[in-house]
Amino acid sequence: MRLLHKVGLALSLGAALVAGTAAAQQQQFINVLTGGQAGVYYPLGVALSQIFSKDIPNVRSTAQVTRASAENLNLLQAGRGELALTLADSLSDAWNGNAEAGFNTKLDKLRGVAGTYNNVIQIVANADSGIKTLADLKGKRVSVGAARSGTELNARAVFKAAGLAYTDLAKVEYLPFGESVELIKNRQLDATLQSAGLGVASIRDLATAVNIIVVPVPADVVAKIGDAAYQPTIIPANTYSGQTTDVATAAIPNFLVTHSGVPEDVVYRMTKAMFDNLDTLYAAHNAARAIKRENALKGMPVPLHPGAERYYREVGLIK
């Protein structure tokens, strides 16, 4: 009897071990690629990872700090992430293999998930710098975002349309939002261009530390960019402390994207979980309030992932 008991115990332990191994193998990891911690991508990515971990069975999700759009897209192509936030123009450049934008080959594994909110070009200067217009940036020290990031690609486009080149500036810094602000506070920089949702933490921080000027990007300059992703918009008065009037500028859509190697069911569940928990995203950052299911497919520059398509068919957005 003792021998039979030992054999039965061994078999039970073996079965439990096999079951545990199978469960571990079934666990899905979702790495959400975001941006710098002072921007909007990061708090949204953290909120998404929390939603996925809570709502999708056998999922472990994390949010990764990155240099945003361009890096996110290259990481997706390499299979080093399951979901990413990116600017529309960067996504289009990556899909088309635009070498001038830093994509030497077509990133053909990218697949769309959803449109989200618009980034707004926000050029902010220390009021003491004397900068009031785009032309006043000549001879000044300016941060344009991390090199080859979505923000920096936006800076190149806006400056070119305004007849400016980096060589016209006294100094060009390729820095994330938070570091740019610290240098302006310390009077080591005059201005920063930040492509982000309205009310971004970095500029709010700067506006409480020094008097700022929000530099307009006029509608005629936006038109000269020659890219449909760029649309005229305004930064409403009092978005930041000391900004008492509306300021004209440009807006660019943001998208959530994945890659073709992520299983259909996983992308379906991510898409559904996001739209089922919009209140969590809205609480993460005010910019997320623009995320609406009915706008999810507008302007998508890459093919939809089958998992996302399945969700949109289910809710009637695709017939």
pLDDT value of residue 36: 87
Q: In the chain, what are the domain boundaries?
A: 27-118+254-314, 119-252
**Element housing 196 (H / E):** strand 191-196
pLDDT value of residue 22: 43
Grade residue 147 by pLDDT with cuts at 50, 70 and 90: confident
The CATH class for the domain spanning 27-118+254-314 reads alpha beta
Average the pLDDT over 190-217 and give the result.
96
Average the pLDDT over 145-159 and give the result.
91
CA angle 165, 168, 169 (to 5 degrees): 105
- pTM score of the predicted model: 0.83
C-alpha to C-alpha distance for 186 and 56, rounded to whole angstroms: 46
Architecture of domain 119-252: 3-Layer(aba) Sandwich (3.40)
Contacts of 192 (CB under 8 A, 6+ apart): 123, 124, 125, 142, 143, 177, 180, 181, 184, 206
Grade residue 27 by pLDDT with cuts at 50, 70 and 90: confident
Q: Which of 75-84, 224-233, 268-277 has the least mean pLDDT? A: 224-233
Q: Which of 3-17, 103-117, 185-199, 222-236 has the least mean pLDDT? A: 3-17
**Element housing 244 (H / E):** none
Grade residue 38 by pLDDT with cuts at 50, 70 and 90: confident
pLDDT value of residue 280: 97
The yes-or-no verdict on residue 317 having pLDDT over 90 is: yes
Grade residue 24 by pLDDT with cuts at 50, 70 and 90: very low
C-alpha to C-alpha distance for 165 and 161, rounded to whole angstroms: 10
- CA-CA-CA-CA torsion for 80, 313, 90, 206, nearest 10 degrees? -90
Average the pLDDT over 128-155 and give the result.
94
pLDDT value of residue 189: 98
b/e sequence 219-249, b meaning 16+ C-beta within 10 Å: eebbeebeeebbeebbbeeebbeebeeebbb
Instruction: Using the structure block, give the residue that is written with the tokens 């080149």.
Output: 165
Counting Cα atoms < 13 Å in the Cβ hemisphere of 11 gives 6
